[in-house]
Every structure is written in C-alpha cells, then in structure tokens.
Amino acid sequence: MRDKVPVVIARVPPLNFNVRCHLMCYRGLGAIAFLLGLSAIAVCAYSVKQAPEMTALLVALAPKADPQDWKQHWLMESLATGSAGVVMLGGGVYLLARRAVGYVIVAGAFVGFALYGVLQRLMGDAKYAFEGSGDWDTVVMLGLAMGALIAYKRSRGDT
C-alpha cells in the first residue's frame, strides 16, 4: 500500500492583491490630503475675512497693543496656512488620480509648513502665541512627511 502524502494547500493571494491594495491607499490618503488642504484653505479664507474684526477686538481688549503689527502677523500666518493648504490640495488631487507624485507633493506641504514655523521662531519673527509651530507640531508634521515619502517609495516598487 502506498503511503499517503498529506497535501498542503497554501493560501495564495490573488495576483492583483498588490494592485488593489495600492489603489485603496491612493484613494484613502488622497481623500484625506484633499480634505486637509480644503480645510486649511477654508481656515485661511475665514482668517483673512475676519482680520479687521479681530483687530478691533484686540484694540478693545488690549489698548496698548499695536493693532497693525498684530494684523500683519495674523495675515502672514493665515496666508502660510492657505499656501500649505493649496499644495496639500494639489497632492490630494494627484493621489485621487492615482499618481505617485502626489505623495511627494503632500510631503513637501508638510515639510514646508514645519520649516516655516521653525524658521519663524529661529529668526525671532514670532511675536505672538499663534505664530510658529511648537516642537511637537514640527515633529508630527515631519513624521507625516516621512510617512508620505515612504509611501511614495513603496508605490514605486522600491522597498
């Protein structure tokens, strides 16, 4: 009698498993980047629109403060947020279109905004509490940028 050899059936993923996985990453991360960019643009638009009213409130609360200086700093910070939002929105659109370069654009937006806050603090230009990112904000933004670059590298097939 012949000895029966046990047959081991290995579970093999379908051939298009990596393709489906990458497409889902593009869609998910693209939607997040798109919404993050859109919200940053909305914050910028609201901040620019409300700047005169906030300046009047500042004069009422702190009469010794320089309202023009405060307004200039507020508008510059708002425009920096809006600029990073536009870049992030563009990266999200590229990711939704399944283009790997979207990861690089999103990483560039995070690095740019992190460096803007750090340079603002180092040059001593950050006079108010809302200016410049904190240490943990910078670490988180650079970590997200690194994650986007790793995702770009993986999407290109380099491991």
Q: For the chain, what is the domain count?
A: 1
Assigned domain for 109 exists: yes
Assigned domain for 3 exists: no
Assigned domain for 6 exists: no
Rg (CA), the chain: 23
Domain that holds residue 151: 23-155
Assigned domain for 143 exists: yes
Assigned domain for 87 exists: yes
Give the residue ranges of the chain where pLDDT is below 70. Answer: 1-26, 158-159
Task: List the Cα angle 85/86/90 in 5-degree steps.
Answer: 115
Assigned domain for 15 exists: no
Query: What per-residue confidence (pLDDT) applies to 48?
Result: 93
Residues 6 or more apart in contact with residue 66 via CB below 8 angstroms: none
Residue 124: left if φ>0, alpha if ψ -120 to 50, beta else—which one?
A: left
Assigned domain for 76 exists: yes
pTM (2 decimals)?
0.76
Assigned domain for 30 exists: yes
d(CA 52, CA 35): 27
